[in-house]
Amino acid sequence: MDILKINHLKTQFHGLDGTAHAVNDVSLTMKKGDILGVVGESGSGKSVTALSVMGLIKPPGEIVSGEILFDGTDLRNLSEKEMRKIRGNRISMIFQEPMTSLNPLLRIRDQIGEMVMEHQNLSKKESYNYCVEMLEKVQIPHPEKRAKDYPHQMSGGMRQRVMIAMALSCNPEILIADEPTTALDVTIQAQVIDLMLNLKEQYETGILMITHDLGVIAEIAKQVVVMYAGQVVEKGDVFEIFDNPKHPYTSSLLKSIPKLGRRTQSSRPRLEEIKGVVPDLFTVRKYCDFFRRCPDATDECSKKRPALVNINSNSAVRCLKYEG
């Protein structure tokens, strides 16, 4: 069953320099209890897609068109009051920077307690006990003591655990994780990923994993969506994306990262770089967004914008090579 289905979402930001097409016609589907990985560089629109789902796009940003179907209902048609019942309760989000996304003036137990008091009608006392229980689940040592701490008394990894505890406290059906481990050290990252996978098993939560780290995607995702300049350029299951990437962007990206243990004794192989830079989002081009950086570009690519072509039931690619 599809728990989340985004159809032709367009989110734009209106500024003095013009309109930024941050998310430009994005469609994706997530099955219940699945892990969907969204990869892309900064400015590819992955975080804006997540914020659009959460209903957190505020002016000058605007969702221009498209549908966000959650369990069959279009979230865009809900009032703010109805959205508040879903946000944090049935769909919750973990943000990248655990320091700035916790309220520095509230104790941990009040921050987690607020959520469950709002959504599950627990009393203050019950909410404290529940908070301790959640902290225990995310493996924070001495949860009774830690519940009384303020965010600044905790380390980065611990704060990210608190964020996870908070996000999972209402057993959401979807957990959106926006670069949840980017700010963390690798050993802590391993702990946090392991924890998320365990909790997913336990609660059957679907996870929308947004990251730029292809390693993290390979490790945990089942389905992968690759984004570039506000659009989906390729989607498919994780083995297909890594073994047989179709879009030139995906394959060059995979070739450009140094891999541990690849280097031979004698030489330092040159990494295959992607030349040029990410295109700006203010202009709508009449040609492929990746044209200027593409190793396989042809004349045709400079004249036509490719459409997303379905290869089979769950994979698709946006490249002229696969059109027609």
Partner 1 sequence: MTLLKVEDLKTYFPGKSSIFSKKKSMVYAVDGVSFSLEQGKTIGIVGESGCGKTTVGMSLLNLVKPTSGNIFFKGKNITDLSKLSKKEVLNIRKEMQIIFQDPYSSLNPRATLKTILDVPMKIHGIPSDVRQEKIEYLLEKVGLRPEHASRYPHEFSGGQRQRIGIARALSLNPSLIIGDEPVSALDVSIQAQIINLLIDLQDEFNLSYIIIAHDLAVVEHIADTIAVIYLGKIVEQANFSDLYRSPQHPYTQTLLSAIPIPDPHKKRDRVILKGSVPSPLNPPNGCSFHPRCPNKKKDCETVEPDLKTISPGHTVACHFA
State which residue, 72 or 141, has the beta carbon closest to partner 1.
Answer: 141
Nearest to 52 by CA among 98, 82, 93: 93
Q: Kindly state whether residue 275 participates in binding partner 1, applying the rule CB under 8 A.
A: yes
Q: How far apart are CA 255 and CA 267, in angstroms?
A: 17
State which residue, 118 or 136, has the beta carbon closest to partner 1.
Answer: 136
Q: Which of 25, 62, 118, 213 contacts partner 1 by CB under 8 A?
A: 213
CA 207, 213, 215, 216: dihedral to nearest 10 degrees? Answer: -20
Query: Smallest distance, Å, CB 57 to partner 1?
Result: 23
Backbone angles phi, psi at 282, to 5 degrees: -80, -30
Q: Quick one: 7 exposed, middle or buried, by C-beta within 10 A (0-12, 13-18, 19+)?
A: middle
State which residue, 56 or 271, has the beta carbon closest to partner 1.
Answer: 271
Q: Which of 56, 64, 257, 307 contacts partner 1 by CB under 8 A?
A: 257
Q: Kindly state whether residue 267 participates in binding partner 1, applying the rule CB under 8 A.
A: no
Query: Smallest distance, Å, CB 56 to partner 1?
Result: 24
Q: Which of 1, 42, 105, 121 contacts partner 1 by CB under 8 A?
A: 42
User: From the CA atom positions of the chain, what is the Rg in Å?
Assistant: 21
Q: Kindly state whether residue 188 participates in binding partner 1, applying the rule CB under 8 A.
A: yes
Residue ranges in 168-187 that form contacts with partner 1 under rule CB under 8 A: 185-187
Q: Kindly state whether residue 191 participates in binding partner 1, applying the rule CB under 8 A.
A: yes
Residues, the chain, total?
Answer: 324
Q: Kindly state whether residue 41 participates in binding partner 1, applying the rule CB under 8 A.
A: yes
Nearest to 228 by CA among 95, 50, 46, 65: 46
Residues near 191 by beta carbon (within 8 Å), at least 6 away in sequence = 139, 157
Residue ranges in 134-163 that form contacts with partner 1 under rule CB under 8 A: 141, 155-158
Q: Kindly state whether residue 239 participates in binding partner 1, applying the rule CB under 8 A.
A: yes
Q: How far apart are CA 98 and CA 109, in angstroms?
A: 16
Q: Kindly state whether residue 108 participates in binding partner 1, applying the rule CB under 8 A.
A: no
Secondary structure of 12-27 in HEC code, one letter for each residue? EEEECCEEEEEEEEEE
**Part of the chain binding partner 1 (CB under 8 A), chosen from 58-66, 82-90, 189-197, 308-316:** 189-197
- Binding residues for partner 1, per CB under 8 A? 41-42, 141, 155-158, 185-191, 193-194, 212-219, 238-239, 242, 252-254, 256-263, 265, 268, 270-275, 277-278, 293
